Structure 1
Amino acid sequence: MDQKTILKKLKLSIQLMELHDENAFKIRSYQSALNSLDRMDQDLTSLSNTELAAIQGVGKGIIDVIDQLKESGTHTLLEELLEKTPTGILEVLEVKGLGPKKVKTLWLDLGITSAHELMEACQSGEVAKLKGFGEKTQSTIIQNLEFKASNQGKWLYADAEEITEPLLESLTALLKPAEQITIVGEYARKMEIIDTLEIVVGSENIDSSISDFEKLDSIDWEKALSGPFTLRGKLVEQDLSIAIYFTSNSEFLKKKLLLTASKTHLQLGVSDTKTMSEAIQESDAKDEKAFFEQLGIQYIPAELREGLDEIALARENAIPKLLEDKDLKGILHNHSTYSDGKHSLREMAEHCKALGYDYLGISDHSRTAFYAGGLEIERVKKQHQEIDELNKELAPFKIFKGIESDILPDGSLDYPEEVLASFDFIVSSIHSVLNMDIDRATSRLITAIKNPYTTILGHPTGRLLLRRAGYPINHQAIIEACAENNVAIEINANPWRLDLDWRWIRFAMEKGVKLSINPDAHEMDGYLDMKYGVLVGRKGGLTPEMTLNTMSANELAEFFAKRKKEITQK
């Protein structure tokens, strides 16, 4: 059992203890242990009991639980709690906004033991009548249940990637000589959400190939959904749909092109009389490069084949050089142990430097984010002193002094003006009061954008993909406000966010707004998410020139200094 699963089991244990009114001291001890284990650097599965005992909050009882989890995947208390918990309650506990106490009320007062029953009770108005709920809470529960249902079986690109790469290796091992295989569909286009993993296999003996793939025990094939040349099913260990299309080697490229592109892309005209789909069907090209040469247009990268204006651009040879990982010179928007990060400022800086970057922007939470250890003013001063010392030691590597300032409900930034002025840059983000309509959310963001101290607008919609819909905003108005106030917009590279959405990147560039690829890293491994920000940037057509952190350390320092000088001159 891996560390992630152990921590999930501990969290479930805490939820069930709260649900069943277990001893409060015991619940706190479990929570304290979970907090410490979640923040530590090492993998707890590799630690001895003596090493575990040295961790704050981890006592003999918790160590015994961890031993049981390692050995059997469960532990005695958890089994006792599960035994007296209706199975469907676990599903209700997953509904966003419902803690164990509210779930218990729903269970005992209304007899709700499943998400389906919860939806029915909400739709009939029964939930709103309960003490501590009301119409607003009931409406929010309905929205969250609908959001959850609509995303059932869907995967983040980053999570699908962990499955897809080893799966493709195992499938490739099944191929006979002269057979070929490739990923197509949403995954090939680097979509942020993957609904179905699609694969094309080229073979001269299709029946034999299908027979080989049908024997795979890692996939639960759904015969009713399959066809003579298509196998459909789900991965046995993951709720991820898969479709494998079989074709002859001579048709392999056509099938790849047809199934990689979106339906809208295929309907676009490549000439006055021919759509992209028709051009593919008629082509005798041997590879993708040759296909686009036959059309007499510029090669269109797979991630751009979404049916926007990519063909018109390709006709004019106007598809720009897209951003690549190697173009990025530094990493902005990161957290350390000063707020809710897992690693110290020194560790974050040294690791960033070791990865080959030239600078780090540290931007811990501001004081209003008390739940995330937001920095009081004295802590800001202390951090700035440490940054000055580390900059001397690590030069020419540079740490920029930043903060992720909460955008308060009225649109103002956290901290008084003299504190805001002490930072090199400020990432302004909304973290609280998320239940806003489009007018309120847009007004709140624009007020923050107009604040002269805002350098970067952080994760504009606050969305968490597959978990929480973002608050609605007028993207056009937000981007235009950023253009007027020389504010960059973040592409938050955390796979759960990927916000700004790639569909608005082109508009931002047209308005002259720079984008900043930020991992929002809360630990050193968080830097690895930068690649997902690059993928999103590329889907939106982002170029190195329009990316803030392709600047060198000196260029960025000048950029920050110029903005601060403009503030003082106003």
Structure 2
Amino acid sequence: MENKPIARTLRLLSQLMELHEENSFKIRSVANASFKVDKLPFNVADKTPAELETVDGIGKSTASKITELLQTGTIKELQTLIEKTPEGVMEMMAIKGIGPKKVGVIWREMGIENTGELLYACNENRLIELKGFGAKTQAEIIKAIEFRMASNGKFLFAQVEQQAHDFMGQLKAVFPEALKHIAGEFRRYNEVISELSIVIGNNNREMALDTLEQSDLLKSVKMIDNHVTGELENGLLVDITCVEKGEYFKTLFLNTGTDEHVQAVLDRLSEPLDQPESEEMIYKKAGLQWIQPELREGDTYIEKAAQDALPKLITLTDLKGSLHNHSTWSDGVHTVEEMALYCRDVMKLEYLGMCDHSRTAVYAKGLNIERVLQQHEEIDHLNKKLDGFHIFKGIESDILNDGSLDYPEEILQRFDFIVASVHSNLKMDIDKATTRLIKAIENPYTTILGHPTGRLLLSRNGYQIDHKKVIDACAANNVVIEINANPLRLDLDWRWQQYALDKGVWLSINPDAHRKEGHHDMQFGVYAARKGGLYKERCLNALSLQQIQEVFKQKRA
């Protein structure tokens, strides 16, 4: 074994010892030995244990650890510490800008066990509340995590949306006369993007290919047949297909939908596609209503399109209010009034639903009963003060381990509406997790089921639940299901939204905003909702102020 892997092993041991708050002298001793071994001019493996003990900076104790590593391939003490440490916490220690001591604080005081949870906490502005942290450290951690997430070749849609549109702007400048459009998973508004697919229709295909190959629009450019591939500055792969204009709409169709969707449409054609003048013509020839790109996942909507029964998909302008938001009362950045004014004056909405964290969420400054009452007084005052706008008294109540909500009944009945969410004990098996949710759904005070699986895209899988049972329970108990619009969540997953709609369940596109600008995340929720087939007539916050007041009134009754 070479010196470097030995040094890395000792360094990991010292970091885990520091994480678990062991003797500081021993930690320094192992850390110093790690540094020393890495710089030695000879191979440590060639030395006897007695010789190692005499090396300056190693000593008897560390020499025995190195000998154990050389003889067995590991160090028992290290293995014991690894077994005591969640895998995600080990991953957090590799993030630039935070050492083992800070990781220990994040883990023990905030209950965060992986990088996805850490990124979400940073976005909710929670880290700056911890001793030894600040806004600058929080910003550096966000940057480091996003860089690590990008290195696996996958990106959140929100991470690349602007870059994709900027790149299309550059292509338009290079090919002003050409037909061009983004296709693939980006055009379908997939929540995770691994490649940006673009189709260009030009009168001279060869010239277009040569222009792209010689330009500096992309890094690592390659040309294969009629494709030019490369990547953007952030590492996102790009595949540009160049065709003659007559082949453009056929190629755009073929490159937009999933293979299953494309084949389902082609199977309905009685003659070859040739050179259609639009995508609409392709669907018309197949006897189908034109299917929006975001619905071109599999064959789910083929029969509805055949019956001219596709929904008119929801848009951002359909939304009249913003529900499930956090203020400075818990872990938000802005006050209730600042959030309200932003929704009224910038977002042009009619109402705001405040849902600060409940008392069990101590890591997020959850509201005890006294603070709930104080916040309600403030909201009453603001509602008298604000013209043409209303603030609803909500709470994001933690769903406790047994499925109960976080306050006694006399407090629950004071809220206009309640978002019930799971934030703790995410490792229940599917039966226990499902039972827990259903009990919360059956609570008569639950208005909305918040982020049903707790997933964090690209970093934490949601806890396993029986989606059908949970959705059926919401249908039976008149509980709305949230589409959490935070780009890291987008939960309820679009793949289950159609089932919910078929069961008569209403959905709500909630930003889970922790700052004023967070309300704009509703756009990403709209994208996810459109993929699920949502239309405004079944979206809770597409109701007018008067309509939603009546809904909340009936629920409380």
For the aligned pair, the TM-score class normalised by the smaller chain equals: 0.7 to 0.9
Give the 3-state SS of the residue equivalent to 2:86 in structure 1: helix
Structure 1: how far apart are the matches of 2:518 and 2:304? 35
Match of 2:553?
A: 561
Deviations 1:159-178 (A, max 9, x none): 110210111101111115x4
Deviations 1:523-560 (A, max 9, x none): 00001011111111111110111111111112111111
1:125–1:363 distance in 2 versus 1, CA, 3 Å = farther
The code of the aligned residue for 1:310 comes to Y
Aligned: 1:262 with 2:255: no
Q: Are the aligned partners of 2:150 and 2:235 in contact in 1 as well (CA < 8 Å)?
A: no
Structure 1: how far apart are the matches of 2:116 and 2:349? 42
**In angstroms, what is the RMSD of aligned CA positions?**
3.3
Aligned: 1:409 with 2:401: yes
CA offset at residue 179 of structure 1? Answer: 1.9
Runs of 4+ deviating beyond 4 Å: 18-22, 108-111, 124-129, 138-151, 278-281
Aligned: 1:483 with 2:475: yes
The count of aligned residue pairs is: 449
Match of 1:10?
A: none
Aligned: 1:434 with 2:433: no
Deviations 1:69-122 (A, max 9, x none): xxxxxxxxxxxxxx99x9xxxxxxxxxxxxxxxxxxxxx9999xxxxxxxxx9x
Match of 2:28?
A: none
Aligned: 1:157 with 2:154: no
Q: Are the aligned partners of 1:285 and 1:294 in contact in 2 as well (CA < 8 Å)?
A: no
Q: Are the aligned partners of 2:151 and 2:235 in contact in 1 as well (CA < 8 Å)?
A: no
The code of the aligned residue for 2:237 comes to S
Q: Are the aligned partners of 2:433 and 2:463 in contact in 1 as well (CA < 8 Å)?
A: yes
Structure 1: how far apart are the matches of 2:74 and 2:535? 51
- The residue correspondences of 1:198-217 to structure 2 (distance < 5 A) are 198-217=197-216
Match of 2:129?
A: none
Give the 3-state SS of the residue equivalent to 2:392 in structure 1: strand
Give the alignment partner of residue 315 of structure 1, picking from 297, 303, 306: 306
Structure 2: how far apart are the matches of 1:555 and 1:288? 38
Give the 3-state SS of the residue equivalent to 2:414 in structure 1: coil
Structure 2: how far apart are the matches of 1:467 and 1:517? 22
Q: Are the aligned partners of 1:127 and 1:134 in contact in 2 as well (CA < 8 Å)?
A: no
Give the alignment partner of residue 492 of structure 1, picking from 484, 493, 503: 484
CA offset at residue 473 of structure 1? Answer: 1.0
Give the 3-state SS of the residue equivalent to 2:533 in structure 1: coil
Structure 1: how far apart are the matches of 2:225 and 2:65? 49
Structure 1: how far apart are the matches of 2:90 and 2:427? 13
Give the alignment partner of residue 229 of structure 2, picking from 206, 209, 232: 232
CA offset at residue 496 of structure 1? Answer: 0.6
Q: Are the aligned partners of 1:151 and 1:466 in contact in 2 as well (CA < 8 Å)?
A: no
Rg (Cα) greater in structure? 2
1:452–1:371 distance in 2 versus 1, CA, 3 Å = same
Q: Which runs of 5+ in 2 are unaligned?
A: 1-14, 22-34, 39-62, 67-71, 92-112, 118-147
1:448–1:209 distance in 2 versus 1, CA, 3 Å = same
Match of 1:552?
A: 544
Q: Are the aligned partners of 1:258 and 1:280 in contact in 2 as well (CA < 8 Å)?
A: no
Q: Are the aligned partners of 1:491 and 1:537 in contact in 2 as well (CA < 8 Å)?
A: yes
Match of 2:459?
A: 467
1:281–1:215 distance in 2 versus 1, CA, 3 Å = farther
The code of the aligned residue for 1:524 comes to K
Deviations 1:273-322 (A, max 9, x none): x516x679524431123333333321111111111321111110110111
CA offset at residue 472 of structure 1? Answer: 1.1
CA offset at residue 518 of structure 1? Answer: 0.1
1:218–1:349 distance in 2 versus 1, CA, 3 Å = same
Give the alignment partner of residue 375 of structure 1, picking from 364, 367, 379: 367
1:258–1:482 distance in 2 versus 1, CA, 3 Å = same
Structure 1: how far apart are the matches of 2:556 and 2:162? 43
1:145–1:523 distance in 2 versus 1, CA, 3 Å = closer
Match of 1:179?
A: 178
Aligned: 1:335 with 2:331: no
Q: Are the aligned partners of 2:322 and 2:352 in contact in 1 as well (CA < 8 Å)?
A: yes
Deviations 1:128-166 (A, max 9, x none): 963444278359969979998998110111111021011
Give the 3-state SS of the residue equivalent to 2:228 in structure 1: strand
- The residue correspondences of 1:451-466 to structure 2 (distance < 5 A) are 451-466=443-458
- What is the TM-score when the length of structure 2 is the normalising length? 0.75
1:428–1:551 distance in 2 versus 1, CA, 3 Å = same
Match of 1:296?
A: 287
Give the 3-state SS of the residue equivalent to 1:282 in structure 2: coil
Q: Are the aligned partners of 2:319 and 2:541 in contact in 1 as well (CA < 8 Å)?
A: yes
Structure 1: how far apart are the matches of 2:304 and 2:462? 31
Match of 2:391?
A: 399
Deviations 1:9-40 (A, max 9, x none): xxxxxxxxx99989x9xxxxxxxxxxxxxxxx
Q: Which runs of 5+ in 1 are unaligned?
A: 1-17, 25-82, 87-107, 112-120, 566-570
Structure 1: how far apart are the matches of 2:464 and 2:247? 44
Structure 2: how far apart are the matches of 1:456 and 1:323? 19
CA offset at residue 220 of structure 1? Answer: 2.0
Structure 1: how far apart are the matches of 2:74 and 2:435? 33
1:555–1:315 distance in 2 versus 1, CA, 3 Å = same
Aligned: 1:353 with 2:338: no
